[in-house]
Amino acid sequence: MSLTGTYDDANIFAKILRGELPCIKAFEDEVALAFMDIFPQGRGHTLVIPKGAQARNLLDFPAEMFGPYLERVQRVARAVTAALEPDGFQILQFNGAPAGQTVFHLHFHIIPRWDSVALAGHGHARRADDAELQDIARAIAAAM
């Protein structure tokens, strides 16, 4: 898909928001949902998606919703770092297929980083163990 286009209400994140597909939640409120990436680039890889807007990417997202949404991204990042105590973390956000976007619903990736631990490439990680993801999600939720 290109950078522009029509929002596809059948994308996986829209289905998760509607409760049609499961996810391993770390946080949810009226503004955002944070859940574990099932194909994590590293331990604790968490996704934060906005609610209430059909935005394919950053350019489609209503300006008035940025503040509350980015506050949630920051809160989740703080909880991820408190729960997992990484040496650092990355926040990534892709716009358009050539930039690496694979799900066309705006989302941020929070990826904890540890010294000397390589990441799996975006879109190249293997499926994680659900029990481990649930343990990590509980730790993040407890740190919220």
Q: Which tens digit of pLDDT belongs to each residue from 11-20?
A: 999 999 999 9
Sheet strand arrangement including 88-92: 25-28, 32-36, 46-50, 108-113, 88-92
Whether 107 is catalytic: yes
Q: What is the pLDDT along the chain (144 residues), one digit of tens a residue?
A: 578 999 999 999 999 999 999 999 999 999 999 999 999 999 999 999 999 999 999 999 999 999 999 999 999 999 999 999 999 999 999 999 999 999 999 999 999 999 998 888 777 778 999 999 999 999 999 999
Which tokens in the block code for residue 105?
A: 């619903």
Is the Cβ–Cβ distance between 111 and 73 less than 8 Å? no
CATH 3.40.50.300 fits 12-143, yes or no: no
Q: What is the DSSP letter of 129?
A: P
Q: What is the pLDDT of residue 80?
A: 98
Considering the candidates 45, 107, 122, 124, report the single residue annotated as catalytic. Answer: 107
